[in-house]
Amino acid sequence: MWHPRGPNNTEAWRWFLIDKIPRKRSKKSCATITYVISRAPGGMTEQDDMENWNYAHNASKGTIARRTPYNYEMGIGALRKTLGFQEWSLKRSAKKIKGGSIADGLP
102, 92 contact by CB (below 8 A): yes
Per-residue pLDDT tens digits for 33-84: 777 766 656 555 555 566 666 777 778 888 888 888 877 777 677 666 666 7
Please, what is the average pLDDT of the chain?
A: 70
Would you state the pLDDT for residue 5? 83
Backbone angles phi, psi at 11, to 5 degrees: -110, 135
pTM for the structure as a whole: 0.33
Q: What's the residue count for the chain?
A: 107
Q: What pLDDT band is residue 11 in, cutting at 50, 70 and 90? A: confident
Q: Give residue 95's pLDDT.
A: 75
pLDDT for the residue 70: 77
